[in-house]
Structure 1
Amino acid sequence: MVKFTIKILVAFKNAVLNFGEYGIPKKSASLAYYTLFAIAPLLFFIFSIGSLFYGEEILEGQVFQKLNGFVGPEVATFLQNLLENITIGGKSNIATIISFGTLLIIASGVFSEIQDSINDIWSLEVKSSGGIMGIIKSRILSFSMILSLGFLMLVTLLLNSVLAVVEDGLNEVMSGMSIILITIINWAVLISIISLLFYLIFKLLPDAKFSNRVSIAGAVLTTLLFLLGKELIGIYLGKSDLDSVYGTGGTMVLLLSWVYYSSMILFFGAAFTKNLASLGEEGLKSNDNAVFVEKKKKEISDEEVINKEA
């Protein structure tokens, strides 16, 4: 356990030292720009999945209430309006299929962008795209991430409903203590759900193989940084008078800024996970369709540091 803790500290140090060398700011800007076009289709598919199990109005109300806590009321309202403006019904069958396919390609492209960026951070290069089948496989993987998001959203809503019932019961028995207990449970659920999302991203998207222990450690650290960053980003954006500078485009700038800073946290977490996997006994191995590309990093003496401390 002590040795693994030392590895975590060394991996964190490497991620900090090579933050710019990994090109994280540039990759984050690219993802933020792409997300600007993909956010509406992405929301459409996630809510389409969720509406199969929940009423549409109830689903929107609860989800955007949660989003309000993450991105602020202006951006949450903006996203809700985007979702309401997407319609693919009321057209011919061919037009509907084309519209649906276009939205799917755009939405899944976000995860393809994340996959390419993490592969680059991890010094991975895909041997070939695999032609049409390779593209289809990549899109299926990306769509599976969309399905995962929809599933996680449903789980979150279900847990919130259960917690509401539990809270009512505890209020009758424990009164004020129930507030503290429910708050702790809410935070535990939130951390677990977001950690699971990051775990899926780090485990499924990159063309590499590594231990589950590393995936979990990377996901948990990224989640904690994400939640901390959310508060700091909120404070920064709250003090930035973007509306007076950008006028009606202020909400768009808020969205881009939030995605940009959140993307930096995601890619930093990916860098940390890569470094931690490289220091492990199982190491970081490429999939059959990818190879490692040599890059000079400031990580040469890390094994010596770990062995010395151990």
Structure 2
Amino acid sequence: MHATATSGRNLHQPTVKAAPARRRWWLLLKGVAVGWHDARVSRLAASLSFYTLLSLVPLLVITDALLGLALDRTAVRHEIDLQLTSMIGGDQARALRAMLDHAQAPAFSSWQTVFSAVMTFIGAAGVFLELKDSLNSLWRVKAKEHVRLRDFLRGYFAPMTMVLGFGFLLLVSFICEAALAAGVSALSSWQPGLAAAVAAGDQITSWLLAFLLFAATYRFLPDTAIAWREVWLGAAVSALLFVVGRWAIGLYLGTSDFAGRYGPAGAILAIVVWIYYSAQIFLSGALFTRLHAESRGRRVEAAEKAPTARVALEA
């Protein structure tokens, strides 16, 4: 018994398949709104925020290590600080920096270093495992109840590779950010009018990298057989909302006394709010992707193999 998508329509979205183009888009957006409520996306986003918070420091440790292999470590940390400050504000960025410095404290022996590295990688993968479960829920995928241990491990390999993919995209992002920053500095002294165009290119680069990350996640992480052509639009819309929302909430957190109102826990709470908004955008984009595929008459089917909590040790 292989993994199967749930029969019927668990989410009661309006039927959008045979409608005229303009009405189809209206029904599609309406379907996303109804599906957002029926699938309890806000609750999935809250759960994802919790796992992301637990995985945030391990992800930063891995990012710092990967970028340090290709770039100057001091420049990497400065760029990480700038990016965090622009996204979540100065107080929150300093809180994350303190946690990152503490997590990178040297171990007492070589075996402790190896153990710490393994646990850091597993911790970073935790958020992608939760992402996988959330996407399976939105795609209405049921895992088969018994699966061979080999298939079980194979099903959980994708979230692990997403950690490395995430680090690679951040490496590309930071290189592009550094190149654009150098370009803005040079053009400001030579041709001030062009500096604004280069700065706009910075935002386009941020959108492009978010688009690639979202598209890869929608394509590979859930246990569904979905074609690339079905994820492009949803990833593009989600990335646009993510970039705009990142700027807006970063501006709010950076200019308001949000952290000060809640005392010592304010910085962590502000980080959770930012993660929660981002999770809402990401999961709503996944729902949009599924409904858009269905509106084009393409049935999204469950993948051949999917992991499950119960594993039968079969040969």
**Both proteins in one fold, TM over 0.5:** yes
Do 2:230 and 2:292's aligned partners in 1 also have CA atoms closer than 8 Å? yes
State which drifts further: 223-232 or 195-204: 223-232
- Structure 1, gaps ≥5 residues long: 292-310
- Cα deviation, residue 84, structure 1: 0.9
For 1:307, the equivalent position in structure 2 comes to none
| In structure 2, C-alpha distance between the alignment counterparts of 1:286 and 1:84, rounded to whole Å | 42
| In structure 2, C-alpha distance between the alignment counterparts of 1:194 and 1:14, rounded to whole Å | 24
Cα distance change, pair 92–165 in 1 and its aligned pair in 2 (3 A): closer
Cα distance change, pair 65–239 in 1 and its aligned pair in 2 (3 A): closer
Amino acid at match of 2:47: S
Do 1:34 and 1:110's aligned partners in 2 also have CA atoms closer than 8 Å? yes
Do 1:88 and 1:100's aligned partners in 2 also have CA atoms closer than 8 Å? no
| In structure 2, C-alpha distance between the alignment counterparts of 1:239 and 1:154, rounded to whole Å | 28
* Aligned pair partner of 1:91 in 92, 95, 108: 108
Cα distance change, pair 123–184 in 1 and its aligned pair in 2 (3 A): same
- Cα deviation, residue 4, structure 1: 7.1
Q: Any residues of structure 2 matched to 1:109-128 within 5 Å, and which? A: 109-128=126-145
Do 2:92 and 2:271's aligned partners in 1 also have CA atoms closer than 8 Å? yes
* Aligned pair partner of 2:97 in 59, 80, 91: 80
Q: Any residues of structure 2 matched to 1:110-259 within 5 Å, and which? A: 110-128=127-145, 130=147, 132-167=149-184, 170-171=187-188, 175-234=191-250, 237=253, 241-259=257-275
Cα distance change, pair 133–93 in 1 and its aligned pair in 2 (3 A): farther
For 2:4, the equivalent position in structure 1 comes to none
| In structure 2, C-alpha distance between the alignment counterparts of 1:238 and 1:73, rounded to whole Å | 6
Are 2:121 and 1:104 equivalent residues in the alignment? yes
| In structure 1, C-alpha distance between the alignment counterparts of 2:49 and 2:239, rounded to whole Å | 19
Amino acid at match of 2:109: S
Are 2:74 and 1:57 equivalent residues in the alignment? yes
Cα distance change, pair 136–211 in 1 and its aligned pair in 2 (3 A): closer
For 2:288, the equivalent position in structure 1 comes to 272
State TM-score, norm by structure 1: 0.83
| In structure 1, C-alpha distance between the alignment counterparts of 2:65 and 2:156, rounded to whole Å | 18
- Paired residues, what number? 289
Do 2:235 and 2:285's aligned partners in 1 also have CA atoms closer than 8 Å? yes
Amino acid at match of 2:170: M
State TM-score, norm by structure 2: 0.82
| In structure 1, C-alpha distance between the alignment counterparts of 2:26 and 2:158, rounded to whole Å | 32
- Cα deviation, residue 189, structure 1: 0.9
Do 1:11 and 1:273's aligned partners in 2 also have CA atoms closer than 8 Å? no
Amino acid at match of 2:159: S
Cα distance change, pair 256–169 in 1 and its aligned pair in 2 (3 A): closer
Cα distance change, pair 101–139 in 1 and its aligned pair in 2 (3 A): farther
Amino acid at match of 2:117: F
Cα distance change, pair 158–6 in 1 and its aligned pair in 2 (3 A): farther
State which drifts further: 108-117 or 252-261: 252-261
| In structure 1, C-alpha distance between the alignment counterparts of 2:101 and 2:147, rounded to whole Å | 37
State which drifts further: 130-139 or 48-57: 130-139
- Cα deviation, residue 186, structure 1: 1.4
Cα distance change, pair 234–186 in 1 and its aligned pair in 2 (3 A): closer
Are 2:58 and 1:38 equivalent residues in the alignment? no
Cα distance change, pair 230–163 in 1 and its aligned pair in 2 (3 A): closer
Cα distance change, pair 168–235 in 1 and its aligned pair in 2 (3 A): closer
State which drifts further: 22-31 or 239-248: 239-248
- Cα deviation, residue 17, structure 1: 1.6
Do 2:91 and 2:259's aligned partners in 1 also have CA atoms closer than 8 Å? no
For 1:302, the equivalent position in structure 2 comes to none
Query: Which SS does the other structure have where 1:288 is aligned?
Result: coil
